[in-house]
Amino acid sequence: MTTYRITLLPGDGIGPEITAVARQLLEVVSHRHGFSLVFDEQPIGGAAIDACGEPLPASTLAACKAGDAVLLAAIGSPRFDALPRSQRPETGLLGLRAGLQLFANLRPVTIIPALADASSLRPEVIEGVDLMVVRELTGGIYFGQPKGRIEADGHVRAFNTMVYSDHEIDRIARVGFDLAMQRGRRLCSVDKANVLDVSQLWRDRVTAMSSDYPSVELSHMYVDNAAMQLVRAPKQFDVLLTGNLFGDILSDEAAMLTGSIGMLPSASLGSEGPGLFEPVHGSAPDIAGQDKANPMAMVLSAAMMLRVGLKQEEAAAALESAVDRALANGYRTGDLMADGCTQLGCRAMGEQLLAALEA
């Protein structure tokens, strides 16, 4: 029997609660589909600061490199906001992305029919939305040098650098074009080329690559317009290709089309080595430990891990239909609650997902 090693990173806040649900479902679905999973649980983020004094211990990174895939829940806690940046939970996540060279972040946004009313947009605007945000993840202003904070002439100055090299743009653009080929063959590259030099280079490189993909319809959009179009007419998008910062912002916006950020999974991939699979949402410290979290983005991230990371398509589809079925049966976590539905906590939702999986 094939065995995969999964590095499990529960992290902070609601992370451990949603991880417990995903793990249980993964155990059932792997058994059912004839492979086995070995879990290696490691600390990251605030949990790692508490346990080891740093947000990404070398042992955690080494374990991630050694496994077949990494499943991460969420990191971050206001408890650490006052620490220097190098010791904050977020730095652990950025270090992991850089350490595994996960330059391509894929954030699919689809509307689950049972949740059409959960969106703040009208049902006819979001019905049929099926888009993919392709976000560059290891470059841009998140990692650019120089950066820092200096004091001079009685003033404090802080700065970051938004920088992309041709090869960084090319490799993420290729991911975008390839995905467009597998989907609706429309690629919209998002930048701020009317103002930023780095965006002009981005646009030039993406345009140059389009001659390799004559059947993909390429368009360019400024990021401010893209933010507007996402809520005005989201169906126009198939694949959205963009840099690290714009992708961070637009993917949260796109996530809300579904009604809750608690539904969206993501995959972060490099050119080799294990991928990282994590929900788009954060650690939700305000509801942590209260059994209120929505575990579905985590379960859908586990499904993405099965499909993209382990090539176990049937098991992935089984997890996804368990989510669909539990929702169709009227079960909701608080973030999605609607008239006539049954509100459940994280654990009880996990049990319904399990029941739906076994049905």
Interface residue list for Mg ion (CB under 5 A): 248
**Measuring CA to CA, how many Å separate 17 from each of 30, 203, 304?**
20, 42, 19
Kindly state the smallest distance separating residue 201's Cβ from Mg ion, in Å: 24
The partner in contact with residue 90, picked from ligand IPM, Mg ion, none with C-beta cut-offs of 5 to 8 angstroms by kind, is ligand IPM
- Hey, is 130 helix, strand or coil? strand
* 168 belongs to the binding site for ligand IPM (CB under 6 A): no
Query: Cα(337)–Cα(350) distance, rounded to whole angstroms?
Result: 16
275 or 350, CB closer to ligand IPM? Answer: 275
* Burial class of residue 351, CB neighbours in 10 A (0-12, 13-18, 19+): middle
Instruction: Give every CB contact of residue 152 below 8 A, 6+ residues apart in sequence.
Output: none
The item of ligand IPM, Mg ion, none sharing an interface with residue 41, based on CB under 5 to 8 Å by kind, is: none
Mask 198-237, x = binds ligand IPM (CB under 6 A)? ----------------------------------------
Q: Minimum distance from CB of 252 to Mg ion (Å)? A: 5
Q: C-beta of 138: minimal distance to ligand IPM in Å?
A: 11
CA distances from 99 to 117, 200, 323 (A): 40, 28, 32
Per CB under 6 A, which of residues 84..143 are in contact with ligand IPM?
A: 90, 93
* Cα-based distances in Å from 60 to 3, 72, 76, 272: 20, 12, 17, 19
Q: Is there a contact between 210 and 177 (Cβ–Cβ < 8 Å)?
A: yes
Residue 142 annotated to the active site: yes
Q: Is there a catalytic annotation at residue 291?
A: no
Taking CB under 6 A as the rule, which mask of x and - marks residues 255-284 in contact with ligand IPM? ---------------------------x--
Q: Does 248 bind ligand IPM (CB under 6 A)?
A: yes
* Site size with ligand IPM, rule: CB under 6 A: 5
Q: Is residue 76 at the binding interface for ligand IPM, with CB under 6 A as the rule?
A: yes
| Omega within 30 of 0 (cis) for the link into 43 | no
Amino acid identity of residue 70, one-letter, is V
Residues acting as catalytic residues: 142, 192, 224, 248, 252
Interface residues with ligand IPM (CB under 6 A) are 76, 90, 93, 248, 282
